[in-house]
């Protein structure tokens, strides 16, 4: 009977608009929730096939879901480990109860979080979710891990009482030697300088470098002997080189040749000699042949620029920051920065097919498709933004507009039911 189908359609209309009202209520309630994704209710009509001349109302059904691919606005904060994804993809996290078990912890996904070290130094947010990442080696490099598996991910642990040193592995010398010292009649005095470096234990050591001119009987030799001593090795020199400088027009004063008397050979392609100090090799740059930026021989003045080098003394960990590529960097008060973890970006073909969980987290499902771990900022993955949180994706004005529409639709369906009731009452009154 078509009147009965109208009643059923009206009841279905009440039900689906109640579901839509529930999604709107959830969205408005979470308008201030960081990382919240809008819940949506979509209506689909139901059609009942009937013979010609008759029509039965099929009603309506509703499907609900979350628009995970819609992103909220990023806002800045004052916490370096407040993180958000600036684009596609999500951060891997795990629950607090998963830590310490024999099996790998279940991985969940989120687009933002305020992570801070707990009493054990593990980065957690207020909900107890732990940020996951790949650990870096001692030299700051990250090993190759499978990208279609969560194997290798572990909770990011920050040791706030950690000390670390950065040994010197590279030094660059820039010195001008007086040309007049290699001319006949010069006094032959040597020039000495010292350059600090840091050994493997973070201790300060020094290289003592002596330049002695070759004084000819006539003319000018343009030749010097460079002797290098290491304070960690005693008085015995670790290397000696014979330096010859060019006196040709346009290239005068630049380094011409370097011959090793003792120590490792000079590499003219890089301008480096390798010094075997007590703590290990140091790439010692004195300049390429013809290059005015290394050693030079000009005028009558001995002058040196500050020695450029890497390395630093032992420092105490002061803060941890995450860069746009997902590298977690420990920053020490000595100025040394070391990579300790890398946070990947997890992406799936259909983000809206992810299973929604509490605390704005999601799990991979058959509808979302398989996941892949990207380096942040590469491929389709967005970069990671530190000092930032993602606001709720709820547009309160749009939700209030839909609330009005839903209320009107609900009232209209209630009116249909009331009308059907009156018509059925009239049908009953026919017998009277």
**pLDDT tens-place string over residues 258-269:** 999 999 999 999
CB 359 within 8 A of CB 366: no
Q: What is the pLDDT of residues 406-432, one digit of tens each?
A: 999 999 999 988 988 888 888 888 866
Which ranges in 106-241 belong to alpha helices (H)?
A: none
pLDDT higher at 89 or 314: 89
Q: What is the mean pLDDT of residues 310-314?
A: 87
Please state, as a whole number, how many other Cβ atoms lie within 10 Å of the Cβ of residue 187: 7
Which candidate, 204, 203, 187, 183, places its Cα nearest to that of 195?
204
Rg (CA), the chain: 37
**Predicted confidence (pLDDT) at residue 98 exceeds the cutoff of 70:** no
Q: What is the mean pLDDT of residues 269-292?
A: 93
Which candidate, 302, 295, 292, places its Cα nearest to that of 266?
295
Weakest mean pLDDT among 50-59, 146-155, 360-369, 386-395: 50-59
Domains, the chain, ordered by start: 2-67+393-430 (no CATH), 76-158+341-390 (no CATH), 170-310 (2.60.98.20)
pLDDT score for 432: 62
Alpha-carbon dihedral sign for residues 313, 316, 318, 323: positive
Tokens of 256: 């011409």
Which candidate, 340, 332, 328, 331, places its Cα nearest to that of 314?
332
pLDDT band at 97 (very low <50, low <70, confident <90, very high): low
Which candidate, 184, 140, 172, places its Cα nearest to that of 341?
140
Which candidate, 313, 336, 338, places its Cα nearest to that of 323?
338
Rounded CA separation 298/252 (Å): 8
Tokens of 276: 């075997």
Chain-centroid distance of CA 184 in Å reads 61
Sequence-ordered list of residues with C-beta below 8 angstroms from that of 186, at least 6 positions apart, any chain: 180, 213, 215
CB 286 within 8 A of CB 273: yes
According to the per-residue pLDDT averaged within each range, which of 156-165, 169-178, 196-205, 327-336 is highest?
Answer: 169-178
Q: What is the mean pLDDT of residues 133-152?
A: 92
- Measured at the CA of 190, the angle between CA 187 and CA 195, to 5 degrees, comes to 160
pLDDT band at 10 (very low <50, low <70, confident <90, very high): confident
Share of the chain above pLDDT 70, in %: 96
Rounded CA separation 222/207 (Å): 24
**Predicted confidence (pLDDT) at residue 99 exceeds the cutoff of 70:** no
pLDDT score for 17: 94
Rounded CA separation 73/111 (Å): 12
- Measured at the CA of 328, the angle between CA 324 and CA 332, to 5 degrees, comes to 120
Alpha-carbon dihedral sign for residues 138, 144, 148, 151: negative
Tokens of 172: 């660059």
Q: What is the mean pLDDT of residues 310-317?
A: 86
Sequence-ordered list of residues with C-beta below 8 angstroms from that of 172, at least 6 positions apart, any chain: 285, 294, 307, 308, 309
**Predicted confidence (pLDDT) at residue 52 exceeds the cutoff of 60:** yes
**Predicted confidence (pLDDT) at residue 167 exceeds the cutoff of 60:** yes
**Predicted confidence (pLDDT) at residue 317 exceeds the cutoff of 90:** no
Task: Calculate the average pLDDT of the chain.
Answer: 91
Share of the chain above pLDDT 90, in %: 75
pLDDT score for 104: 63
Q: What is the pTM of this model?
A: 0.77
Give residue 287's region: left, alpha or beta (phi > 0; psi -120 to 50): left
pLDDT higher at 412 or 3: 412
Q: CA-CA-CA-CA torsion for 418, 9, 411, 23, nearest 10 degrees?
A: 150
């Amino acid at each position: 009977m078509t009147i009965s189908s109208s009643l059923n359609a009206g009841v279905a209309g009440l039900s689906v608009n109640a579901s839509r009202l529930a999604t709107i209520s959830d969205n408005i309630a979470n308008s201030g929730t960081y990382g919240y994704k809008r819940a949506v209710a979509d209506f689909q009509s139901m059609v009942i096939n009937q013979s010609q001349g008759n029509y039965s109302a099929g009603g309506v059904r509703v499907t609900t879901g979350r628009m995970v691919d819609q992103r909220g606005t990023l806002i800045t904060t004052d916490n370096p480990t407040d993180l958000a994804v600036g684009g596609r993809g999500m951060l891997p996290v795990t629950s607090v109860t998963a830590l310490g078990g024999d099996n790998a912890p279940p991985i969940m996904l989120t687009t933002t979080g305020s992570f801070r070290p707990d009493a054990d130094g593990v980065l957690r947010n207020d909900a107890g979710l732990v940020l996951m990442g790949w650990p870096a080696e001692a030299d700051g490099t990250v090993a190759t891990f499978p990208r279609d598996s969560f194997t290798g991910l572990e909770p990011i642990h920050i040791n706030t009482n950690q000390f670390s040193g950065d040994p010197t592995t590279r030094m660059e010398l820039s010195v001008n030697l007086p040309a007049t010292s290699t001319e006949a009649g010069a006094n032959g005095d040597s020039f000495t300088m010292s350059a600090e470096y840091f050994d493997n234990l973070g201790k300060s050591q020094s290289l003592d470098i002596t330049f002695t001119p070759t004084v000819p009987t006539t003319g000018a030799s343009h030749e010097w002997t460079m002797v290098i001593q290491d304070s960690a090795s005693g008085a015995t020199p670790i290397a000696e080189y014979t330096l010859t400088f060019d006196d040709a027009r346009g290239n005068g004063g630049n380094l011409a040749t370097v011959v090793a008397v003792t120590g490792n050979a000079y590499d003219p392609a890089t301008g480096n000699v390798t010094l075997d100090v007590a703590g290990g090799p140091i790439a010692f740059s004195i300049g390429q042949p013809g290059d005015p930026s290394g050693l030079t021989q000009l005028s009558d003045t001995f002058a040196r620029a500050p020695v450029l080098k890497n390395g630093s003394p032992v420092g105490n960990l002061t803060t941890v920051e995450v860069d746009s590529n997902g590298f977690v960097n420990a920053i020490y008060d000595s100025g040394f920065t070391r990579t300790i973890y890398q946070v990947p970006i997890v992406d799936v073909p259909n983000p809206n097919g992810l299973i929604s969980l509490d605390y704005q987290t999601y799990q991979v499902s058959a509808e979302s498709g398989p996941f892949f771990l990207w380096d942040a900022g590469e491929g389709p993955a967005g970069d990671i933004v530190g000092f930032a949180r993602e606001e709720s994706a709820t547009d309160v004005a749009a939700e209030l507009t839909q609330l009005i529409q839903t209320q009107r639709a609900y009232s209209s369906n209630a009116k249909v039911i009331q009308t059907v009731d009156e018509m059925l009452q009239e049908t009953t009154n026919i017998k009277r």
